[in-house]
Amino acid sequence: MPAVERYLKPEVINQIKRLDLRAQFVVKGFLQGLHASPFHGFSVEFSEHRRYASGDDPKDIDWLVFAKTDKYYVKKFEAETNITGYLVMDLSQSMGFTHRQELTKFDYAICLAASLCYLMVYQQDPVGLITFDKQVRDMLPPKSKRTQLGNILAHLANLKPAGETDVAKSITQIAAMFRHKSLVMIFSDLLAEPGPVFQALRRLRHRGHDLILFHILDEAEVSFPYDGMIEFEDPETAEKVVVDATSYRADYKTEIEAFRELYRRECFQTGVDYVPLDTSMQFDKALLEYLLSRRARG
């Protein structure tokens, strides 16, 4: 089955198209908001302009905008209005886990990434792909052509999550790769020591990149639906532990909430958009809710 059909079935494509129709203003506001627009609160008709600055050619002043606002604006050049996006996918073995859902965490991440890729290509913004486990593995250069969605999905469809991960090291590598400010969309279960990851995220933000961190857990990793004595195995280290799941559930749920809250707080302070998800959520609805919340904050 072709990758596009596997991850974006016709009904899913229609959901994303409906997302466009229901919320075009959200999508455009979301993406254009990342273009460092200097005039929050202006109507969309001025969204391709910026304030006139010393050194600009007076011939570029848009006099129609001046007539409406009594302020000098110039039309943005294409290089200023387009933003380059990177889909950054965690390939570690733990991403291949699912308890009872049709999609593994990795499949779920691919569906989310495909939707965002579709939206960016729809906006004619170039988007590329980076994959990592213990280090960066692959990179597809950003393109804005319609064929890019198929290229990215075909590449991801041939990958199988395997081995250990080093999220912090990989993000640090990625920070060194970029030459221009970009939108970096990271998809990971973040099963790693948080401290080094926070340092790597701060480094990436310090370089001016816009970051969205999609924290994807399996439904069972959030709700812990196990009972009795259960043997758990770490998918990356193969370490095994036997626990009384029934008596451990409350403590586990407290710990997982604290883990997510730690990320939420740190990301808020660093200026990173943190989006906690689990595989029981419909990814298109989760994406629309995120876009709407971002629009409301903007």
| CATH number of the domain enclosing 12 | 3.40.50.410
Are 135 and 149 contained in the same domain? yes
* Helix, coil or strand: residue 262: helix
Decide if 31 is inside a domain. Answer: no
Tell me, what's the pLDDT at 234?
A: 72
Identify any residues that bridge with 239 across adjacent strands, giving them in sequence order.
none
Mean pLDDT score, 80-105:
86
Same domain, 179 and 255: yes
The pLDDT value given to residue 39 = 34
Q: What pLDDT is stored for residue 239 in this prediction? A: 79
Does the pLDDT value for residue 233 go beyond 80?
no
Average pLDDT over residues 98-107: 84
User: Is residue 48 located within the same domain as residue 196?
Assistant: no
pLDDT at 91 over 90: yes
Residues 6+ positions from 78 with CB-CB distance below 8 Å: none
Tokens of residue 90, six digits: 């965690």
Residue 129 sits in which domain range?
3-25+83-297
- Average pLDDT, integer, range 220-240: 79
Question: Are 276 and 256 in the same domain?
Answer: yes
pLDDT reported for residue 58? 77
Q: Residue 97: helix, strand or coil by DSSP?
A: coil
Residues 171 and 189: their CA atoms lie apart, in Å, by: 14
Residue 228, sorted as left (phi over 0), alpha (psi -120 to 50) or beta, turns out to be left
Q: How far apart are CA 182 and CA 31, in angstroms?
A: 11
pLDDT of residue 26: 47
Q: What is the dihedral of CA 126, 272, 46, 118, to 10 degrees?
A: 30
Q: What is the mean pLDDT of residues 88-112?
A: 88
**Domain shared by 279 and 255, yes or no:** yes
Question: Into how many domains does the chain fold?
Answer: 2
Helix ranges, 142-193 (H)? 147-157, 167-177
CA dist 71 → 61, 66, 138, 139 (Å): 10, 5, 46, 43
The predicted pLDDT at position 229 comes to 79
117 domain-assigned: yes
Predicted local confidence at residue 7, as pLDDT: 57
Does residue 30 form part of some domain? Answer: no
Is 219 among the domain residues?
A: yes
Q: What is the pLDDT of residues 208-219, one digit of tens each?
A: 888 999 999 999
Question: Degrees (nearest 5) of the Cα angle 217, 286, 154?
Answer: 75
Same domain, 119 and 235: yes
102 and 219 housed in the same domain: yes
State yes or no: pLDDT of 141 exceeds 90. yes
pLDDT bucket at 46, cuts 50 / 70 / 90: very low
pLDDT tens for each residue of 156-179: 878 889 888 999 999 999 998 888
Phi, psi (deg, nearest 5) at residue 182: -140, 165
Domain end residue (candidates: 44, 62, 79): 79
Q: How many angstroms separate the CA atoms of 69 and 83, rounded?
A: 26
Query: Do 187 and 90 form a contact (C-beta atoms < 8 A)?
Result: yes
The pLDDT of residue 1: 44
pLDDT given for residue 67 in this prediction: 76
How many of the other CB atoms lie within 10 Å of CB of 125?
A: 21
Residues forming a β-bridge with 84: 182
Instruction: Tell me the whole-structure pTM to 2 decimals.
Output: 0.76
Please name every residue paired with 214 in a beta bridge, in sequence order, or none if there are none: 187, 275
- Strand intervals (E) in 45-166: 49-51, 73-75, 84-90, 127-132, 136-143
